Amino acid sequence: MIRFAQNSKDKKLLVSSSDLVSAARKVIRYRSHLLPPTVVSEIEMHTASLKSVVAAKNFSELGERSGALRSILGKYGGNIFPVKFLSENTEVLFVAIFLAVAIRTFFVQSFQIPTNSMYPTYYGMTHRILDGDNSKKSIWRWIFDKITYGANEINILAQNSGEVSIPLIRVDGENGYSVPYTLVRNKIGSLANREYVILIADKPYKILTPADFALDKVLLERFCPNSSSWKDFISKNHQNLTAGRNIGFTKTGNFIRSGRSLLHFEILPGDMLFVDKMTYNFRAPKVGECIIFRTDDVQDLAKAPKFFIKRLVGKPGDTLAIREGKLFANGKLLSATETIKKLNSKAGGYKNGYVAAKLLAEGMEFHVRDGNYFVLGDNSKESYDSRFWGTVPQKSVKGRPLIVFYPFNSRFGIHE
């Protein structure tokens, strides 16, 4: 008498019997050349028998026939049966790895914005000054900020009392001065950190930041909040660095007591993007689009990170110029995108417009050669781009920004 499924136990038996049939097929497929023909024939017979019972959902015979097949597979199944975690999941693991590599190579790849050369369209690493000794977070707040924003908290405590002094070196440009640092490499030889040194009285304090993070704005905001630059601070306070030397110290007028916080701030990571690597296989990049490109083939970027993101403003044959903070292409004001329009009108967060420099200094023009693109950062005042090192070979372009997927703040989503 045929008995049909009556409860969940019967249904589980049906599922396990189906899995047993699949396992038997694998044993025959991958181990038949290692087994005696009589064993192979026996496995095939028991498999066909169990398969017919499963198809008919004959539960009165299901247990007996699945037991017979399970017994012979247990003797001759090798690494295929009984199923072990590694053997069961190795194939799935290899497929997953293959798909991940294929997706990264041909479709989408992640990319983190290292600097603020594209600000405010895309953010590089930024900082947030914390309120000295009064800003200690609860453990839950610390975990939330770490997961949601990727915040890296740095708190340097004073071990002596005295006035804070900051070393400065002379640099070109309107800032006039910059805080010097030493690049520190990790154990495998790649750049890991910048090391800065500031003083309380005569005692030095080392501050480590990521290799792409400049501490100048943090120190200026913390110790000289009413100044727009170190040059401005020195001018307002009538200070002079030691004449004839490239480095000197400026006193900030901030006095710190031992045991108090010297410098307490957070570093927030740059935008993390998914990069569309497919589109440019079917069409060329358009003027006004942001592009991600390799730096290998740009002579003056040999020591730069492997990938940059900039906005394409000049295609082959274009003649570019910057006049009074505005970008011109072939004699006409460039207006390819809303962002470029904002830069030319110095609107919103793009108040600096385009800064004339080097290859696009005021009164100069640049003609883009065949096979190359001219790119600029949206934060023209602080961008190291084609004005300084020339054009990007078309073959170096790898994709365009698709979406900001981290951190989980107002930046999340699609940007121009």
pLDDT of residue 100: 59
Percentage of the chain beyond pLDDT 70 is 86
The more confidently predicted of residues 343 and 27 is 343
What digits encode the pLDDT tens for the residues 268-283?
888 999 899 889 989 9
Lowest mean pLDDT among 72-76, 248-252, 273-277, 411-415: 411-415
Q: Above 90 in pLDDT, residue 103? A: no
As a whole number, the mean pLDDT across the chain is 85
Q: CATH code for 273-406?
A: 2.10.109.10
pLDDT of residue 113: 86
Instruction: Pick the most confident of 166-170, 307-311, 312-316, 351-355.
Output: 312-316
Domain ranges of the chain: 8-76, 126-268, 273-406
What digits encode the pLDDT tens for the residues 387-409?
999 999 999 999 999 899 888 88
CB half-sphere exposure, 50, CA atoms < 13 A: 29
What digits encode the pLDDT tens for the residues 37-91?
888 888 889 888 888 888 888 878 888 888 888 888 888 877 777 765 445 565 5
State the pTM of this model. Answer: 0.69
User: Sorting pLDDT into bands at 50, 70 and 90, what band is 160?
Assistant: very high
